[in-house]
Structure 1
Amino acid sequence: MNIISEERLIELIGQYIKEGMTVTMESSLEDLGFDSYKFVKLVIDIEEEYGMEFTDDDLSYKKFDKVKYLYEHICS
């Protein structure tokens, strides 16, 4: 499994937000407009690209208040 970089995670998230919005590691997924559907699509992208699996318990964007918490989870 390859480890995702912060830059790549931000790039992936950027595919699901409105143009002109800025993503940082401190950004809230909810503030970026994520809902359950967008989050699951993002998770699928991450799983396919990095050969990892999220558990069912991890499929809620509300579990990850900020991008950095999602990043930490992916890297753990």
Structure 2
Amino acid sequence: MSLQDDLTAVRRNLNELVRSVEQLEKDVARQSPAAATRPPDPSRMVHIPDTPYDSTLWTDTDDEGLGARDRRAP
């Protein structure tokens, strides 16, 4: 491709991007503002406790990137 062909392709892609962004802005503007500000449904929220996990869950696992426990990395 020549430089002129490349520039034409870039302009075409940029124009397509601008049209897509404009369409997205129109779609967002059409949505009801109440839907965007509605709080999440509490029944779908998952509570994650602050307490540490039981360390016995990890006795037979490898440390990612470091190899298995009780062995030296190569």
TM-score under structure 2 length normalisation: 0.22
Larger radius of gyration: 2
- Larger RCO (CA within 8 A; separation ≥ 6): 1
TM-score under structure 1 length normalisation: 0.22
Structure having the higher strand fraction is 2
